[in-house]
Chains A and B, each alone.
Chain A
Amino acid sequence: MTTSHPSETQSASETHSAGWVAEALREHDELARQSAELPNPHDGRTKGSPQPLPGTVREEQVLERIDRARRSRPRVKEQRITMSHGAGGKATRTLVEAIFLDAFRNPLLEPLEDAAQLHFNGSRVALTTDSYVVSPLFFPGGNIGDLAVNGTVNDLSVSGAVPLYLTAGFILEEGFEVDDLRRIVASMHDAAAAAGVQVVTGDTKVVEKGKADGCYINTAGLGIVEHSMNLGVAQARPGDAVLVSGPIGDHGITIMLARGELDIEADVISDTAPLNGLVADLLAATPGIRAMRDATRGGVATILNEVATDAGVCVVISEDAIPVRPEVRGASELLGIDPMYVACEGRLVAVVDGAEADRALAAMRAHPLGEQAAIIGHVADDPAGIVLLKTAFGGTRIVDLLVGDPLPRIC
């Protein structure tokens, strides 16, 4: 059945001998060399041993080699920016670490938290910035304006700060309708009022038609930290509980459906909302809180991976416990998307001392934005750096960082 065919054959390694494949293979050889030098922890033999190792031991060795490869210094291998670099998953993290952190490296930036913590004359101030390029600009449950306010308010809130002041920078495309701009700005005003923040400075630029997509907004935010807790995902430790403040994926699915390319209709609206009130209640009820993050691009899965990696722990979660609206689950099943990777704009993930899990849950549920909050899992010590999911079916699997870009621009 299988026949050879005498057509011209070209070697792929020739066509891009200087390309990334050759480079990746060199890296691979280097890692293989390193692991050959390491003694085998299982039976004292080295990898070059003439006797074949049992399958499970060899598999374990491969897993260790992959772990080392993942810990190696991140590098951007692509020649050009692709949509994956903005999707919030692995490529985004690599870009941020290899390009931005590498250039700007300083102790304030290094934790890569949602907001930087600055110290002025004994008081702590939090500073953050975010740009908004969502398409479409108007969607069920909100528009780019309230998103731009809530997103930045939330970045400050989850860092433990009380948000106070915002900036607003607009990049407008020639031809954009002023009425649309009025609607967007009115939403920004309402969202700022609801969150108790003021927009205190701004900037406007207009670019030629075709050089932007209607309207982009950047907001920066300043807040004050009124407590002495040290929050951060690196603080997570075994025994902690992991909570989410409500059903996940509403925003991302709303945007996908609002683009009208999928011919799917569902009663789902964006969850965009300011989280500062919920955070204040949570902080007051839970002195043993370790970290909070708002689950935007990359979704809950990305945050859990950040916890596992930065704290060197295993995060164990139960699929059954994760709140997902039936509409969101249905659309996700149809599209082959995991809601764990779908963005929210008004949900947070919290890691708290296991002993305070119930108090944290009660505090969230007492707030209108946290009525459907849930404890979704806990922190264990082994295997470190891994997010482990107990599936509803009763099996186990890992939940990795998102690769690629399954979603359109969502924020």
Chain B
Amino acid sequence: MKFVDEFRNAGQAHALSAKIAELCEPGRHYKFMEVCGGHTHTIYKHGLEDYLPESVELVHGPGCPVCVIPMGRVDDAMHLAANPDVIMTSFGDMMRVPGSNGSFFDAKAQGTDIRMVYSPLDSLKIARQNPDKRVVFMAIGFETTAPSTAMTVLRAAAEGLENFSIFCNHVTIVPAIKAILDSPDLRLDGFIGPGHVSTVIGCRPYEFIARDYGKPVVVAGFEPLDILQSIYMLMLQLSEGRSMVENQYTRVVPWDGNVVALKAIGQTMELRPYFEWRGLGFISHSALRMRADYARFDAELLFDVPGVRVADPKACQCGEVLKGVLKPWECKVFGTACTPETPIGTCMVSPEGACAAYYNFGRLNRQRVKEVSRS
């Protein structure tokens, strides 16, 4: 298939793999974080680790929109959805995220009107079709999905729709990366920068990572060859003693981002003073809320939202997994108490979550598998 197969070419992967191996200094261990959950998914789905030398280790980062939602926000959303006047809408990934009293799916099974949508515009359609109901869209995601929420709000405003609102949980990637860089637990050699976020914000916001922390960043695409090439580019920077922001995903990511999208976000949303991230705690200026001009679309103002902070179950180590301190399988409950069918932590829910990706695709002994594959 065009525009897909050329980025999954095994011959080119072998060539890149050999070039990466050549750049490895003997005795040195390399640790790169792929910030974005989409990259984590690609790495496991295509078995990319088979191409990496043992001394190159990939650490999974916090860039999974569903994974960073704290339990309290899920409970708030459930509280909103329980209002008989409300039709709650959200992306499919959100449906299985556990709150303290079950997930959206569980609530749906008990008769709460919760609907899965593919786009916030679908929520708008539901609002038009149900004028006697109040339709709430649970908005999640980084700068990747924030523009579509913003455009939906602008359209709702233009149409004068009064029964539509946003429960805004949009977060921003840079404060989370900074929190990781400032965390004493982790020593990284570089970052595979988020691809889709960068289509919106561009590459400049990462310059402080290279400048102030001396770590190379390569913004990467989502096909397996994109990621392999970005690892090669990181290795090349290290071997040449450089630390810069480079763009591997030039076919999609403009250096300065998408100005129209940024304007739409800026027009409708503003930074919150602080926001709670699952496992990472409260991070200043790390999330978005509706601007006062668009308060009539802000579900947090229109409805009674309890806003109670709920601590994660004690055994859940999503925080350490999100920061890359623990590998998924190192979590105490991984695969036994916490599985994709009954997730305790968010990292086991979304296909972009490190735990789900490892459990669904990577749960195998690579050494043993190499022998089987040869047979």
Q: Is A bound to B?
A: yes
B335 engages A62 (CB within 8 Å): yes
Query: Pick the contact of A397 from B8, B13, B46, B175 — CB < 8 Å?
Result: B46
Contact of B46 among A4, A81, A262, A393 (CB under 8 A): A393
CB neighbours of B207 from chain A (8 A): none
A31 to B369, CA, bound (A): 25
* Residues of chain A in range 255-279 having any CB-CB distance to chain B below 8 Å: 261-262
Do A24 and B342 contact each other (CB < 8 Å), given the known contacts A380-B372, A393-B48? yes
B267 CB to nearest chain A CB (Å): 26
Give chain B's interface residue range (CB within 8 Å of chain A).
35 or more
B46 and A63 contacting across the interface, CB-CB below 8 Å: no
The interface residues of chain B lying within 8 Å CB-to-CB of A261 are 118, 122
Q: A82-B106, A391-B45, A397-B362 are in contact. Are A62 and B368 (CB under 8 A)?
A: no
Does A83 lie within 8 Å of B365, measured CB to CB? no
CA distance A78 to B182 in the complex (A): 41
Specify the chain B residue showing the minimal Cβ separation from A65. B336
The answer to whether B46 touches A28, judged by C-beta atoms less than 8 angstroms apart, is no
Check if B96 is an interface residue, CB within 8 A of chain A.
yes
Of the listed stretches B159-167, B197-205, B242-250, B306-314, chain A binds B306-314
Q: What does the 1/0 interface line of A265-299 toward B look like (CB < 8 Å)?
A: 00000000000000000000000000000000000
Contacts of A81 in B (CB 8 A): 109
B118's partner among A11, A62, A262, A380 (CB-CB below 8 A) is: A262
- The 5 tightest CB contacts between A and B, nearest first, are A395-B47, A394-B10, A66-B335, A28-B337, A24-B337
Note all chain B residues with C-beta closer than 8 A to A49. none
Q: Does A404 contact B (CB under 8 A)?
A: yes
Task: Report chain A residues within 8 Å CB of B294.
Answer: none
Taking a contact as CB atoms under 8 Å apart, the answer to whether A15 and B368 are in contact is no
Chain A residues engaging chain B, CB cutoff 8 angstroms = 1-5, 7-13, 15-16, 19-21, 24-25, 27-28, 31-32, 56, 58-60, 62-63, 65-66, 69, 77-84, 90-91, 94, 261-262, 314, 316, 326, 329-330, 333, 336, 380, 382-383, 386, 388-398, 400, 403-404, 406
B22 touches A (CB below 8 Å): no
The reply to whether the CB of B129 lies closer than 8 angstroms to some CB of chain A is no
How many Å lie between the Cα of A9 and that of B314 in the bound state? 13
Asked whether A403 and B340 contact (CB < 8 A) given A60-B365, A80-B106, the answer is: yes
Inter-subunit contact A336/B106 (CB<8 Å): no
Proximity bits, B332-353, A CB within 8 Å = 1, else 0: 1111111111101000000100
When C-beta atoms are compared, the residue in chain B nearest to A405 turns out to be: B105
Residues of A within 8 A of B314 (CB): 11, 13
Known A314-B372, A395-B224, A403-B340; further 11 A-B contacts with Cβ < 8 A: A1-B283, A2-B281, A5-B274, A10-B100, A63-B363, A84-B341, A330-B1, A383-B365, A391-B45, A395-B47, A404-B341
Residues of A within 8 A of B362 (CB): 397-398
| Chain B residues engaging chain A, CB cutoff 8 angstroms | 1, 4-5, 8-10, 13-14, 44-51, 71, 92, 95-96, 98, 100-101, 105-106, 108-110, 118, 122, 175, 178-179, 182, 224-225, 274, 276, 280-284, 307-315, 327, 329-330, 332-342, 344, 351, 359-370, 372-373, 375
Query: Which of B1, B175, B340 is within 8 Å of A326, CB to CB?
Result: B1
Known A10-B309, A63-B364, A63-B365; judge A393-B224 contact (CB<8 A): yes
Q: Is the CB of A395 within 8 A of B365?
A: no
Instruction: Please indicate the chain B residues that have their CB under 8 angstroms from the CB of A316 in the complex.
Output: 372-373, 375
Structural contact, A28 and B284, CB atoms closer than 8 A? no
Nearest chain-A residue to B360 (Cβ)?
A: A400
Contacts of B311 in A (CB 8 A): 9-12
B268 to chain A, nearest CB (A): 24
Answer whether A66 and B363 are a contact pair too, CB < 8 Å, given A11-B311, A396-B50, A397-B46.
yes
How far in angstroms is the closest Cβ of chain A from B212? 13
Residues in A neighbouring B44, C-beta threshold 8 A: 397
Contacts of A330 in B (CB 8 A): 1
With contact pairs A10-B310, A60-B365 given, residues A2 and B336 touching in the complex (Cβ less than 8 Å): no
Q: Can you give 8 contacting A-B residue pairs, CB < 8 Å?
A: A1-B178, A12-B312, A20-B342, A28-B337, A82-B106, A392-B5, A403-B360, A404-B95
Q: Determine the chain A residues whose CB is within 8 A of the CB of B175 once the complex forms.
A: 1
Known A-B contacts A1-B182, A79-B106, A388-B372; A28 and B332 likewise in contact (beta carbons under 8 Å): yes
Output the least CB separation between B358 and chain A (Å).
Answer: 10
A404 to B96, CA, bound (A): 8
Within 8 Å by CB of A25, from B98, B182, B224, B315, lies B315
Cα separation A314 to B372 with both chains bound (whole Å): 9
Q: Verify B179–A2 contact, CB threshold 8 A.
A: yes
Assembly CA distance A114 to B315 (angstroms): 40
A20: nearest residue on chain B (CB-CB)? B342
Question: Is B1 a contact partner of A333 (Cβ separation < 8 A)?
Answer: yes
Residues of A close to B351: CB separation below 8 A: 336
- Per the bound structure, the CA–CA distance linking A25 and B44 in Å amounts to 27
CB-defined contacts of B182 to chain A, threshold 8 Å: 1-2
Known A12-B312, A333-B1: A66·B282 in contact at CB below 8 Å: no
Contacts of A380 in B (CB 8 A): 372, 375
What's the minimum C-beta distance from A145 to chain B, rounded to whole angstroms? 29
Q: Enumerate chain A residues within 8 angstroms of B282, measured Cβ to Cβ.
A: 2-5
